[in-house]
Amino acid sequence: MELPIIESILQSVAGIDGARLLDLRVGPFWTAVRTTRGTGLASTMAGDAHRRERTPIARAGDMSNATPSELAAFLRSESLPEAAVGLATVNALVDGAQGEAVEDNAREILKRRAQGRSTAMIGHFPFADSLRQSCRELWVFERGRGRRPGDLGEEHFAELLPRAEVVAISATTLINHTLDQVLSFVSPEAFLMMLGPSTPMISCLFDLGFDALCGTRVDDPDRVLSAVGEGAVTSQIAGVRRLCLWRDKGE
């Protein structure tokens, strides 16, 4: 299966030399990778991976001997936990490039942009219900365990996504390899943002039409790694800041 966006991301970090792996934690909800360049997070999305024939992480127990570039390549994997390791590593490698990012809240950005507009949300975020009050209409697409009554499946992409004026996409679409499909239906005129702690702050995503990338920066790696290893969910992970990187400065 060809994954053009994944390959573009991996090519962007391929030129980052000299990074060494310092630590790696795969928790039930979050995965964290610490390198000499920074620390990155990604949603583990394990689900029922351990029940399948394939081992969720083929190199489990030996990953401390891998290089960051080897771990980043896991982003190509069809195994969700392996792909999460890959994305967390990418985020750790690009951590130092977040200097132009500004502190902002993805929920507030989306609320402002979606005011009176048709909006599509790929992934059911906790603030979906409150956002609905601001939109002319809101379509929430969810395929995972977070699906709620009223959420839509991928069979509605072709009908609804071209009509959306604002599109908010979870970074987990990079892990489950659905981002290429989603973007194929999005109008080039739509305001497009990626959000969630898994979001890579990487400029090649702007070439795909994204206007804003809303993720996190890890300020306290020890605290974050400890929380991830103890099974913390998003609200329990301290030591991070919410940042937004804009395609056009001054937004």
Specify the number of domains making up the chain: 2
For residue 68, being part of any structural domain is answered with yes
Residue 12 phi/psi, 5-degree rounding, is: -65, -30
pLDDT, tens digit, 9 for 90 and up, residues 20-59: 999 999 999 999 999 999 999 999 987 644 445 578 888 8
Yes or no: say if 97 and 202 are a contact pair by the CB < 8 Å rule. yes
pLDDT at 67: 93
pLDDT-based confidence at residue 100 (cuts at 50, 70, 90): confident
For residue 232, being part of any structural domain is answered with no
Q: Looking at residue 198, which CATH number applies to its domain?
A: 3.40.50.11590
For residue 179, count other CB atoms closer than 10 A to its CB.
Answer: 24
Average confidence score pLDDT of the chain: 91
Tell whether 21 and 72 lie within a shared domain. yes
Yes or no: say if 178 and 3 are a contact pair by the CB < 8 Å rule. no
Higher pLDDT, 101 or 85: 85
Tell whether 197 and 125 lie within a shared domain. yes
pLDDT, tens digit, 9 for 90 and up, residues 155-193: 999 999 999 999 999 999 999 999 999 999 999 999 999
Mean pLDDT, rounded, for 47-75:
81
Tell whether 110 and 214 lie within a shared domain. yes
For residue 131, being part of any structural domain is answered with yes
CA angle at 56 for the pair 50 and 60, rounded to the nearest 5°: 115
For residue 123, being part of any structural domain is answered with yes
Beta bridge partners of 162: none
For residue 156, being part of any structural domain is answered with yes
Q: Looking at residue 33, which CATH number applies to its domain?
A: 3.30.390.100
Write down which residue in 42, 66, 99 finishes a domain. Answer: 99
Residue 24 phi/psi, 5-degree rounding, is: -150, 130
Yes or no: say if 193 and 168 are a contact pair by the CB < 8 Å rule. yes
Q: Pseudo-torsion of CA 68, 36, 34, 67, nearest 10°?
A: 20
Tell whether 25 and 10 lie within a shared domain. yes
Beta bridge partners of 186: none
Looking at residue 109, its amino acid is I
pLDDT, tens digit, 9 for 90 and up, residues 193-235: 999 999 999 989 999 999 999 999 999 999 999 999 999 999 9
Structural domain for 40, as ranges: 4-99
Tell whether 185 and 90 lie within a shared domain. no
Higher pLDDT, 75 or 248: 75
Tell whether 123 and 212 lie within a shared domain. yes
pLDDT at 47: 61
Tell whether 86 and 108 lie within a shared domain. no
pLDDT at 250: 47
